[in-house]
Chains A and B, each alone.
Chain A
């Protein structure tokens, strides 16, 4: 019963957040002074063209009606036509989604696969020379801009060593291995920063846990150091780290927007930048909503996951 109540509560709060987001996105584009059609086409545009675009964008209807139409479009996938590309926005999103989704998934995978073992090592060997050096390196990893890292990786692995491609994305339909190869460097550029953040967090929680009474109890009843670490400490340290997943997902998405542009990958990031540059309002509006939707869904799943593994959360 309590589980169902928890689920409903979380679902409700996610829906409210989404409703506010849709209002904000729609509202912010209404704040614009003047006719959006004139802004898109420029002040010297032919009045007939402006008239035609206003009609296409549905600007003649009152705001409330336009909002209702836009929200209905969000559900049915009809987000209008991109002003720049003259194709439905949803079509553009469908084309670029696989690139960004696989880039984000790969980056997330690398982050988790790297950060867990490294933070265990750091927590185990706290205050020794090499671990202290690695911890310092993590600070640099957090400070490095991902796109500079991307440029450096291109310099080393694509230009000097010629191991990996520096751009020229191979579509998944042509060759899956080729597509993955062209995603390795971008994923590395994105995940170094997030890995550093996670390692710092995990290491600190593990060190906190190691100083707890239950560790002393377990050790005094004769349990080996490693057993305590893996069986008790890791479990307790990984739990709160699950909540970090949502935050990392936001970071990864934000990172991929810039990094895709470094590698010229035909993903959501490049699409949104071209939309912003061309003031393609229908495209930007739709993209931003779906990006926010992704984040809200990820956070919702994280909440459920957290409650599933830790009964204390849902029974509170």
Chain B
């Protein structure tokens, strides 16, 4: 497995990119070069230098420190939304796949209806209702991720529950929770992990988009999407400012996508 992983370019590049992201994240938890929210009107729009590695923004805040803090935001929104999507999607998908019949029909219709919205619109509706902010962004993106997890869970359940060893466990008198926890779940871990990895990158992109529109993360909390919005006004005079957060988003999303693709190839799972 490890040998195979070494030969898979997608997996290797993805893992390297995510390691860099993790290093940045861990460093940001220990300390940042400057206070990410400290304004300094004397030092507005400084180009990258040894003092400010990535320069300063329109308020004289250190961009590198803000990028580091932004990694925490990405991580919070990503993990929370994937956890919500995974938990709700797994339960719905398990009910749907295990029971079948009318329950399956109802749940799948609901999922179809939700799939008819572009994810960003669903998130926008939820944010209209609960107001912007990091928690509601994570919640909204979590809800949009549910159908994805629901469908993959349902497909796995339908496939696995027909296998002989499940029938054997059932005839031995295993309870349904035991059946799911000890026999079905371990056999569907890899598709779930692959889906979660890819859902993480979707969440990062969506968070950046919402924050760019001013409806996601609220200032002064740093967010890469919000930084892009601020940078856009100074495109003519300070093009590097718009360059940095965009690169960060792209590289992180690329990392998760490549890792997900690599894992899928390595474990030979099919995703929906």
Q: Are B121 and A148 in contact (CB under 8 A)?
A: no
B109, B129, B245 pick with most chain A CB within 10 angstroms: B129
CA distance A143 to B232 in the complex (A): 20
Kindly provide the distance from the CB of B238 to the nearest chain A CB, expressed in whole angstroms. Answer: 11
Q: Are A143 and B201 in contact (CB under 8 A)?
A: yes
Asked whether B188 is an interface residue with its Cβ less than 8 Å from the other chain, the reply is no
Residues of B within 8 A of A20 (CB): 109-110, 112-113
Q: Are B258 and A25 in contact (CB under 8 A)?
A: no
Q: Size of chain A's interface in residues, with CB distance under 8 A?
A: 46
Closest to B130 in A: A32
Asked whether A254 is an interface residue with its Cβ less than 8 Å from the other chain, the reply is yes
CA distance A44 to B240 in the complex (A): 43
Q: Which residues 137-163 of A have a CB within 8 angstroms of B?
A: 139-140, 142-148, 151-152, 154-155, 159
Given contacts A151-B242, A284-B128, contact A295 B117 (CB under 8 A): yes
CA distance A193 to B58 in the complex (A): 30
Asked whether A258 is an interface residue with its Cβ less than 8 Å from the other chain, the reply is yes
Asked whether A109 is an interface residue with its Cβ less than 8 Å from the other chain, the reply is no
Q: Which residues 114-168 of A have a CB within 8 angstroms of B?
A: 139-140, 142-148, 151-152, 154-155, 159
Q: Which residues 93-124 of B have a CB within 8 angstroms of A?
A: 109-110, 112-121, 124
Q: Are A276 and B246 in contact (CB under 8 A)?
A: no
Asked whether A273 is an interface residue with its Cβ less than 8 Å from the other chain, the reply is yes
Q: Are A292 and B213 in contact (CB under 8 A)?
A: no
Closest to A247 in B: B115
Closest to A147 in B: B212
Q: Are B118 and A253 in contact (CB under 8 A)?
A: yes
Residues of A within 8 A of B118 (CB): 250-251, 253-254, 257, 291, 295
Interface flags for A91-132 (1: CB within 8 Å of B; 0: not) read: 000000000000000000000000000000000000000000
CB < 8 Å neighbour of A17 from B112, B213, B242: B112
Asked whether A241 is an interface residue with its Cβ less than 8 Å from the other chain, the reply is no
Q: Are A277 and B113 in contact (CB under 8 A)?
A: no
Q: Are A140 and B254 in contact (CB under 8 A)?
A: yes
Residues of A within 8 A of B232 (CB): 151, 262
Given contacts A257-B121, A288-B117, contact A145 B208 (CB under 8 A): yes
CA distance A20 to B121 in the complex (A): 16
Asked whether A176 is an interface residue with its Cβ less than 8 Å from the other chain, the reply is no
Residues of A within 8 A of B110 (CB): 20
Kindly provide the distance from the CB of A269 to the nearest chain B CB, expressed in whole angstroms. Answer: 9
Q: Are B213 and A261 in contact (CB under 8 A)?
A: yes
Closest to A193 in B: B205
CB < 8 Å neighbour of A276 from B127, B201, B205, B251: B127
Given contacts A145-B205, A148-B249, A254-B121, contact A276 B215 (CB under 8 A): yes
Q: Interface SS of chain B: helix, strand, loop or mixed? A: helix
CA distance A140 to B112 in the complex (A): 29
Q: Are B109 and A16 in contact (CB under 8 A)?
A: yes
Residues of A within 8 A of B120 (CB): 254, 257-258
Kindly provide the distance from the CB of A151 to the nearest chain B CB, expressed in whole angstroms. Answer: 5
Asked whether A182 is an interface residue with its Cβ less than 8 Å from the other chain, the reply is no
CA distance A295 to B245 in the complex (A): 32
Residues of B within 8 A of A16 (CB): 109
Closest to A25 in B: B125
Asked whether B253 is an interface residue with its Cβ less than 8 Å from the other chain, the reply is yes
CB < 8 Å neighbour of B128 from A143, A147, A262, A279: A279
Kindly provide the distance from the CB of A80 to the nearest chain B CB, expressed in whole angstroms. Answer: 16
Asked whether B214 is an interface residue with its Cβ less than 8 Å from the other chain, the reply is yes
Closest to B122 in A: A288
B interface vs A, CB < 8 Å?
A: 109-110, 112-121, 124-129, 201, 205, 208-209, 212-215, 225, 228, 231-232, 235-236, 239, 242, 245-246, 249-251, 253-254, 257-258
A interface vs B, CB < 8 Å?
A: 16-17, 20-21, 24-25, 28-29, 31-32, 139-140, 142-148, 151-152, 154-155, 159, 250-251, 253-254, 257-258, 261-262, 272-273, 275-277, 279, 281, 284, 288, 291-292, 295-296, 299
